Amino acid sequence: MLAAAVLLLLAGCTPTSASPPPDSGADADLGAYLEQELDWVGCKDAATSKADAKLFANPALQCASVEVPLDYDKPAGKKARIALTRLPARGEADGSLLIDPGGPGGSGTSFVASTLPLWQKSPVAERFDIVGFDPRGVGSSTPALDCYTDEEYDAGDVPRFGAVYDVTSAEEADELAERCAAGSGGIANLVNAGSTNVVRDMDITRAVLGDDKLTYLGYSYGSELGAMYAATYPEKVRAIVLDGAVSPDLTASEYRLSSFTGLQARFDDLAAHCAESPDCVLGSNPAAANDRLREIVRPLVETPAPTTDGRGLSVWDVYLGISGGLYSEKKWPDVISALTALEAGNADRMLALRDTFYARTADGAYGHDFDTNIAVRCMDSPRPTPEEQTALAREIGKVAPMFGIDVFTAGNYHSECEAWPAPPQRDEPWLADVEGLPETLVVSVTGDPATPHEGGIAMARALGGSLLTVDGKQHGAYILGGSKCVDDVVGAYLLDLETPPADARCSL
């Protein structure tokens, strides 16, 4: 899940402003939503793919959905439904731990189902229900947001992502917006997908779960949601953990550049590791690895490499596969192996890495919702002009020379959000310092390839909370990193609100 969250961030998941507190009149209109009761049932019918169906069939899991207004300015109008998956507490529950795994576009229900064995071993699950949610437009939540079919993603007939999306004209931007509106059931569904509404959905979910205050875990983009919730409802916060935290003090372009800088640093590390082998596909000189990579992929710019299943492998696929593999040092051997096979004429391993990034299953279903990712970002973030987007692509080529090929950086680019049917809801910077909060906890890995450690420091400072620094090279640490130190520190905070000392440090 987090492998894709890394690239969802790099693909333009930019920070969003914390929403202002809703007015009292609007709150009064939400009474019926706050009083609804959940109908927890088995999850076998909640899965949206064959792969998830196997996970969701586990009898330990329960599923339900929460009704929320589609448009909070019209609470009596059309409704949306937010899907939930729950692992009930082993003992008497003190409340629920609400989880978002990142994106935008990551499914919290799938995350809980796929990490279930880890949660079943966790002491947090002794006293808390573990609840994953699908933000509006994602997974089993409704309305669904769709711009392109799985078959079109297979064929590459979608806006492709390298340094920026390859949207090179106003006409292409118009087509994207029109397709998304048509595939999502209308403009209203599309333009209500932003993070501000997700945060208000979270508050209704908290109330319906029966919790007076929110206990929350957010990874990557999920850290934005948690910080926005804290800024909007500070009096309703019990505990908030932000793992792989997004920097709240950078502009959208600055944040994008910092993420690519982090990704390049991890590629440089991978190249140095590879060079220790005499037959390294990237050569014996790590300083020349960027040139060597471009040499390997250059033939694919014009002609995709053939694959066994007939889909082919494009240059965009290669970079998605490599980037996804860089999210964790444990995955670096897979990247090296795939590049070695690709140079030898076998593209299947790199295609498999690309499919892992997309969470594509053997039956061709895509587990991560990139259409929702675009919709959320377009409603969250200021839209760059063509001149700004083009300049950004050029700058990414400089800070991340592994991406420095003409097809990624030398064109004239338009924002994928240029023709979106409603203006963005938030300005930047997206989060001011928040006062009066209970203690929060930010977990930040020193070698995070997508959300650099400096951003975690800035997030902890903005929230006036604690910071756990984790030495390692991956995106996200709690539960997923295999570190008892991290799990113990976060567990103590979630269970008993015990925060670590100012110099707290763990390693992966």
Q: How do beta strands 237-243 and 466-471 pair?
A: unpaired
Give strand pairing partners of 63: 41, 85
* Residue 453 annotated to the active site: no
Q: Around Cβ 29, how many Cβ atoms within 10 Å?
A: 16
Whether 53 and 362 have beta carbons less than 8 Å apart is answered as no
* Residue 220 annotated to the active site: yes
Q: How far apart, in whole angstroms, are the C-alpha atoms of residue 431 and residue 53?
A: 38
* Residue 448 annotated to the active site: yes
Q: Around Cβ 308, how many Cβ atoms within 10 Å?
A: 9
Q: How far apart, in whole angstroms, are the C-alpha atoms of residue 402 and residue 393?
A: 13
Q: How far apart, in whole angstroms, are the C-alpha atoms of residue 124 and residue 251?
A: 36
CA-angle at 456, arms to 273 and 256, nearest 5°? 70
DSSP for residue 161: B
Q: How far apart, in whole angstroms, are the C-alpha atoms of residue 351 and residue 356?
A: 9
Give strand pairing partners of 62: 86
Q: How far apart, in whole angstroms, are the C-alpha atoms of residue 327 and residue 337?
A: 16
Q: How far apart, in whole angstroms, are the C-alpha atoms of residue 322 and residue 22?
A: 43
Q: Which residue has the tokens 């979270």?
A: 202
Q: How far apart, in whole angstroms, are the C-alpha atoms of residue 240 and residue 431?
A: 16
What's the token pair of residue 70?
């589609």
Q: Which of 110, 220, 253, 323 is catalytic?
A: 220
Query: Rounded to 5 degrees, what are φ and ψ at 154?
Result: -60, -45
Half-sphere exposure of 329 toward its Cβ, with a 13 Å CA cutoff?
A: 18
What's the token pair of residue 115?
């990490």
Whether 446 and 467 have beta carbons less than 8 Å apart is answered as no
Peptide bond before 143: cis, by omega within 30 degrees of 0?
yes
Q: Which of 100, 129, 154, 448 is catalytic?
A: 448
What's the token pair of residue 157?
């007939």
> Hey, which residues are catalytic here?
220, 448, 475
